[in-house]
Amino acid sequence: MFKWIAGGLATFFAGRYLLRLNKAAETITSRISIVLHKVALSGLELKAIVRLQNPNPIALNLQYPFVKITYKGNTLGTTEVRNEIIHLPENSEQNFELKIQSSGWLSLIQILGTEIVTRIRSGENIVLNITATTTSRINNIPYEQVDQIQLSI
């Protein structure tokens, strides 16, 4: 009889803990900003600044964030993929500065068009409406956030 009670209590507390982890993974927030690092001979060099905030009283383990930048459905660039787990303490936040590996000029001409690329290379100010998708795993639960950003070049 004691084994049944102990097993029931262990199941109850394990289930409660897993539900709290699931809720914590759903309430985490991320903010992203994309800035132009420089215009180089190889193409555009962009930088993503990702701020992950954990407003929960539970510490979380998350996979290093991956960011994909698209313009009208075409990929402009991505960050590198890292198989690294980061510990995010309770009620805290962490900032990541990620280098975006952008396409070369030939790919940018196909994605943005010759007019926009010519204006960028001549030094004119351009504003692009891009989509930034941040992907990670929080306590082995997939996390994805899509943001619409105006990128000034």
List pLDDT tens digits, range 62-111: 899 999 999 998 988 899 998 899 898 988 989 989 998 777 888 888 88
Return the higher-pLDDT residue of 90 and 20: 90
Q: Number of structural domains, the chain?
A: 1
pTM for this entry: 0.78
> How many alpha carbons fall within 13 Å on the CB side of residue 130?
28
Quote the longest CA-to-CA distance of the chain.
81
What percentage of residues in the chain have a pLDDT greater than 70?
Answer: 85
List pLDDT tens digits, range 128-147: 899 999 998 888 888 888 99
- Look up the domain containing 128 and give its range: 2-152
Distance of CA 79 to the CA centre of its chain: 9
Q: By three-state DSSP, how is residue 6 classified?
A: helix
CATH of the domain at 78: 2.60.40.10
Distance from C-alpha of 104 to C-alpha of 74, rounded to nearest angstrom: 14
What are the distances in angstroms from CA 37 to CA 88, 107, 123?
27, 19, 14
Strands (E), the chain: 29-40, 43-54, 60-63, 66-71, 74-79, 85-88, 92-102, 127-138, 141-152
Distance from C-alpha of 56 to C-alpha of 29, rounded to nearest angstrom: 11
